[in-house]
Structure 1
Amino acid sequence: MDALSRFFWFCSGIHQPTLEKHPTEHNKYVGIGATIFFTGLFAALSGGYAMYFVFKGDTAAVLFAVFFGILWGLAIFNMDRYIVSSINKNASSTKQILQATPRILLAIMIGMVISRPLELKIFDKEIKERLKVSYLNNQRSKIDTLNKAFTNKYTIELNKLQEVKAQRDSVESGIKSDRQKLNFEVFGTKTTETSGVMGYGPYAKRKEEELKQRQQNLDSLNADVRRMEHFVDGRKQFDGLLAERLYTGKQLDSLASIAGFADRNWALGQLSFNTDGSRDTTTALAVTFIGLLFIFFECLPVFVKMMSSRGPYDRAVENLEFSQIHTSEKDRDFEVEVTDGVHDTRVTSAIEKQKEILTKL
């Protein structure tokens, strides 16, 4: 416990020999140091997680994440340690607030940077689902865009194909109707266009010849349709339309798993809105309060230092600083006096030498 307390004292940035003389102040600075330490720890986890997604897929992704996490955590730890230790408790309340204001703003910025990657991990499942919807919509939009561009490019050919198909359908429908009439004539079914006499008579023979002619016409139209469809399919293959398909569920899972930091950060921002564009108040508040929690945690060491009363340690540090400043000023004055004395001796010696030379002359 003594070693752990000393470690947290180091984290708080205090002068340990002075603090050891004031046991009543020990726990306060243990708490401040522990807060600074865990802030740096959270920063390391946050930075490492963010860097892991930057290099995700690389064989050295874990190594990069660990290295950057440690480096980022130490940087934030050192900055927090300086921020807290630089607040002068011996100054007036107004001066302390002025000292702390830029440090609080800096702490807020650090808290925002730390909280974002951790928020990405907390809402990981929701982010993946939102990314799947986004990827599917983007793929659908891409296919629609390609289809529109293809339609505009081959408008004449596509219109001709539709005309030929319409003719084919019309001929096919007519053949079906005439074949039914032929059956009615052969089997003696009485209609407005049949005689009602059973047998294969002249009317039936004429109808059969017409059907053969129309069937040849239909075969020709079908050949034209197949030829034009082959041409259109070839153009679609050339323009890349046939290669584009909507993603399957397995493909969407894979894309969401390898999504980069920018995509995940965008999806986290979109969680505050429903898919129809309306505001999702519940999720928006959850994301906001988690971010505020980390920001408050980052500012907590500064707040604790400001709210704490001026204790014996602060008075002792003030006296120690005053003593060091006073000693430094005395040493400086002594050096000036010694320097001035040497200067006077040299001037006197030079004057005497000049007098001797004049006397000889």
Structure 2
Amino acid sequence: MSARPRGGTGRVLRTLTGVDEDLLDTVPTERSRYTAMGGVVLGTAVMAMFSMTAALYFVFDGFHPTVLVFVPVWGAFILCLDRWLMAGTAEPRPGRRFRKLLPRLVLAAIFGVIIAEPLLLGVFHTAIEKEINDQRTAEVTAHESELKRCNPVPGTPEFDGPEAKEDRCADLRLGVTTDSEARQRELVDLQEQAKTLKADTDADDKEYARLERLARMECNGTDSDETTGDFGVGPNCRRLREQAAQYRRDQRMDANHRRLTALNADIENLTREVADRRGDTARLINEGIAEKAAEFRANQKGIGLLERLGALGTLVKQNGYMRAAEWALRLFFIAVDSLPVVVKFLSGVTAYDRVVADRLAGQRRAQRVVAETERRRLVIQEELARYQMNAEHASAVTKVEFDARMRNVDVEMLREEVVDARAEYLLQDAPTMPLAMPSGDTDPAGGSR
């Protein structure tokens, strides 16, 4: 037997596998095997610590002091779990050994999945962050579009359209109020007035032009159905001219033209004013939309763990190559985390396992002997207790019977005393009478009479 190495890295690594150094001294050739197994256990624990570090980094979107607490605790937990998974699996028969290792392998695979996900997020973090930023940008753009659709500029066709009046716009309206709508209504009224007045003036101008043309034809001697054909300013010429002038006065054509000119000037000025007011309203609406979009963007804050997982799922669905790479890495991480159990299973039954099995078998036999001895001791104690109880019962019965007899004796003695006392009392109260004694009778005292 070779001397046990004192301390050192190898012994620390072997401790991680749960071996007993005293038992390992009996098979020193197994030290290298269990030292390597300890390295595997330590590697899985370190990988778990990296995974927890990545997970907490993604949760808090950066470094957080809790990393200094949770990461060592998680590493110690995984270390203890792998140590337990490797310990106590020695079984000479392969079937029973596999059934014993199977649940441990399933447990190791489950923890492997948990550990693998944060590491996958770390591997694909560049693509994931780009996908999340693109999604957030699309969400902001869609929100801005909704705000613009629900807050059209007054005076535009969209303002009176059905989309701006939908129920979903109730929470998206900015409430921007200006007098541009009132000015727009005023402009519409002026335009209607100008339109009506222009129609009237056009009709008057047309009729006045007809009358003027007819007067010129009469004065010029033009022959027609409506003129005499006599040249010169005659009565008919003067009559037609007067008729045209009277029509102009009756229709107030000059006043109407001046009014129409004034209306057009007002319309032009009001159109510029409405355009300016509408521009101010559009500017206020755009500023409100930009402010709401900024608030929406600010509410997105940092990128969380669930958001990263969702983005990874989206990328995997869109890209088959990435899906294959994701599963390859996931299976790799799961296999690495399951290595302690796999290595233990592939190692088979080692000499150390046989020593442990023999030691456990001896301990079980010793435990059975101790249990049997304890059982017999308890049986003997029970029998002694039962015997003592029976003896105490017999003694109690004897004492009760003796007490009963003594009470009977006391009663008889008391009865005799009472009888004697009564007899003495009766003898004292009775008169004295001679008693004739027959001759020859013997005196009670022994003499003859």
> How far apart, CA to CA, are the structure 2 residues paired with 1:227 and 1:320?
97
**If you compute each CA radius of gyration, which structure gives the higher value, 1 or 2?**
2
Pick from 35, 38, 46 the counterpart of residue 30 of structure 1.
Answer: 35
Paired residue type of 1:243: E
* Secondary structure at 2:348 match in 1: coil
Q: Could you tell me how far apart the structure 1 residues matched to 2:40 and 2:154 are?
A: 65
Instruction: Identify unmatched segments of 5+ residues in structure 1.
Output: 172-209, 274-278
Find the aligned partners of 2:34 and 2:155 in 1 and give their Cα distance.
Answer: 77
One-letter amino acid of the structure 1 residue matched with residue 53 of structure 2: G
Give the alignment partner of residue 289 of structure 2, picking from 206, 217, 241.
241
Judging changes above 3 Å, is the alpha-carbon distance between structure 1 residues 234 and 353 closer, same or farther for their aligned structure 2 residues? closer
Q: 1:223 to 1:28 in 2, by over 3 A?
A: same
Q: What residue in structure 2 maps to residue 185 of structure 1?
A: none
Using a 3 Å threshold, how does the CA distance of structure 1 residues 321 and 156 change in structure 2: closer, same or farther?
same
- Paired-residue identity, %: 20
> 1:37 touches 1:77 (CA, 8 Å); kept in 2?
yes
Q: 1:47 to 1:358 in 2, by over 3 A?
A: same
CA shift for structure 1 position 353: 4.8
Alpha-carbon distance in structure 2 between the residues aligned to 1:155 and 1:96: 81
Deviation at 1:116, TM superposition (A): 1.6
Q: Which structure 2 residues correspond to residues 35-50 of structure 1 after superposition, within 5 A?
A: 35-50=40-55
1:22 CA displacement: 0.9
Instruction: Using the TM superposition, give the Cα deviation of residue 3 of structure 1 relative to its aligned residue in structure 2, in angstroms.
Output: 2.0
Equivalent residue number for residue 222 of structure 1: 272
Report the equivalent of 1:262. Answer: 306
Q: 2:126 maps to what in 1? A: 125
Corresponding residue number in structure 2 for 1:68: 70
How many residue pairs get matched? 301
- 2:443 maps to what in 1? none
Structure-2 change in CA distance of 1:318 and 1:211 (3 Å): same
**Cα contact 1:11–1:33 (8 A) shared by 2:** yes
Q: How far is the alpha carbon of 1:156 from its aligned partner?
A: 7.2
Contact kept? 2:154, 2:278, Cα under 8 Å: no
Q: Deviations over 1:305-347 (max 9, x none)?
A: 1121222111111110111111111112222222333333344
Question: Contact (CA 8 Å) 1:111, 1:295: kept in 2 or not?
Answer: yes
- Whichever residue aligns with residue 96 of structure 2, its letter is K
For residue 47 of structure 1, report the CA deviation from its aligned partner.
0.8
- Please report how far the alpha carbon of residue 154 of structure 1 lies from its aligned counterpart in structure 2 after TM superposition: 9.2
Contact 1:12 1:85 (8 Å CA) reproduced? yes
| Matched-pair contact (CA < 8 Å) for 1:116–1:291 | yes
Query: Distance in 1 between the 2:271 and 2:145 partners?
Result: 30
Alignment-derived partner of residue 143 in structure 1: 144
Aligned equivalents of 2:394, 2:261: Cα separation in 1: 149
Amino acid at match of 2:289: L
The aligned residue for residue 440 of structure 2 is none
- Name the aligned partner's letter for residue 230 of structure 1: D
How far off its partner does 1:119 sit?
1.9
Matched, 1:77 2:97: no
Q: In the aligned structure 1, how far is the partner of 2:352 from the partner of 2:270?
A: 104
Alignment of 1:1-361 (within 5 A): 3-56=8-61, 61-90=63-92, 92-151=93-152, 158-159=159-160, 217-231=267-281, 233-234=283-284, 240-244=288-292, 258-273=302-317, 279-355=318-394, 358=398, 361=402
Residue in 2 aligned with 1:199? none
Paired with 1:153 and 1:121, the residues of 2 have a C-alpha distance of: 51
SS in 2 for 1:310: coil
For residues 29 and 273 of structure 2, the distance between their equivalents in structure 1, rounded to whole angstroms, comes to: 100
- How far the C-alpha of 1:151 sits from its partner, in A, is 4.2
Distance 1:350 1:133, change over 3 A: closer
Does the aligned pair in 2 maintain the 1:136–1:246 contact within 8 Å? no
Shift of 1:216: 5.7
Native 8 Å contact 2:41 2:82 kept in 1: yes
- Structure 2 unpaired stretches of 5+: 162-179, 192-259, 403-449
